Amino acid sequence: MAKNLKEILVDNSNDLVHMWLEEVAEKQKEVTNSAISQDLFENTNREFVNIIFGSVEKESLTSDLDSFTERVINLGWPLSYLTDGLQLFKRVAIEFLIEHEELDVSVPKVLRHVDELVNPIINQLVNEYSGSWENTVSLQRVALQELSAPLIPVMDNITVMPLIGTIDTERAKFIMENLLDGVIKHHAEVVLIDITGVPVVDTMVAHHIIQAAEAVRLIGSTCILVGIRPEIAQTIVNLGIDLSKFPTKSSLRKGFTTALEMTNQMIVQTNSEEQTIEELIDSLDRSEQS
Amino acid sequence: MRIPILKLHNYLLISIQIDLDDQTAIQFQEDLLNKIHQSGATGVVIDLTSVDIIDSFIAKVLGDVVTMSDLMGAKVVLTGIQPAVAVTLIDLGIHLNEVTTALDLEQGLIKLRQELEE
Can you give the pLDDT at residue A224? 93
Helix A79-99 / helix A2-11 crossing angle, nearest 10 deg = 110
A184 to chain B: which residues are within 8 Å by CB? 82-83, 103
Three-class DSSP category at A209: helix
Domain A2-145 has CATH 1.20.120.530: no
3-state helix/strand/coil string of chain B: CCCCCEEECCEEEEECCCCCCHHHHHHHHHHHHHHHHHHCCCEEEEECCCCCCCCHHHHHHHHHHHHHHHHCCCEEEEECCCHHHHHHHHHCCCCCCCCEEECCHHHHHHHHHHHHHC
Q: What is the mean pLDDT of chain A?
A: 82
A211 contacts B83? CB cut-off 8 A: no
CATH of the domain at B56: 3.30.750.24
Say yes or no to pLDDT of A8 above 50. yes
User: Which residues of chain B have a pLDDT value below 70?
Assistant: none
Q: Chain A: which residues have CB within 8 Å of chain B?
A: 176-177, 180-181, 183-184, 187-189, 211, 214-221, 245
Q: Which residue has the higher pLDDT, B8 or A13?
A: B8
Q: Does B96 touch chain A (CB under 8 A)?
A: yes
- Which of A180, A211, A245 is closest, CB to CB, to B83? A180
On whether residue B47 sits in a domain, the answer given is yes
Q: Which residues pair with A160 in a beta bridge?
A: A152, A192
Boundaries of domain holding B64: 6-117
ipTM score: 0.77
Average pLDDT over residues A70-97: 80
Which ranges of A59-78 does DSSP label H, i.e. alpha helix? 63-75
On whether residue B1 sits in a domain, the answer given is no
B47 to chain A: which residues are within 8 Å by CB? none
Can you give the pLDDT at residue A28? 67
- The closest alpha carbon to A196, from A160, A218, A222, A226, belongs to A226
Distance CA A59, CA A68 (A): 18
Q: How many CB atoms lie within 10 A of CB A183?
A: 26
Domain count, chain B: 1
- Which of B78, B86, B107 is closest, CB to CB, to A180? B86
Q: Which residue has the higher pLDDT, A54 or B37?
A: B37
On whether residue B46 sits in a domain, the answer given is yes
Domain A152-262 has CATH 3.40.50.1820: no
Q: Which residue has the higher pLDDT, A44 or A2?
A: A44
Torsion of CA A211, A214, A215, A220, to 10 degrees: 170
Q: Does B49 touch chain A (CB under 8 A)?
A: no
Q: How many CB atoms lie within 10 A of CB A269?
A: 7
Instruction: Return the beta strands (E) in chain A as ranges.
Output: 152-155, 158-164, 190-197, 222-226
Q: A228: which DSSP letter?
A: -
- Of the residues B49, B95, B100, B105, the best mutation for testing chain A's interface (the one with the most A CB atoms within 10 Å of its CB) is B95
| pLDDT band with cut points at 50, 70 and 90 for residue A61 | low
The residues spanned by each domain of chain A are 2-145, 152-262
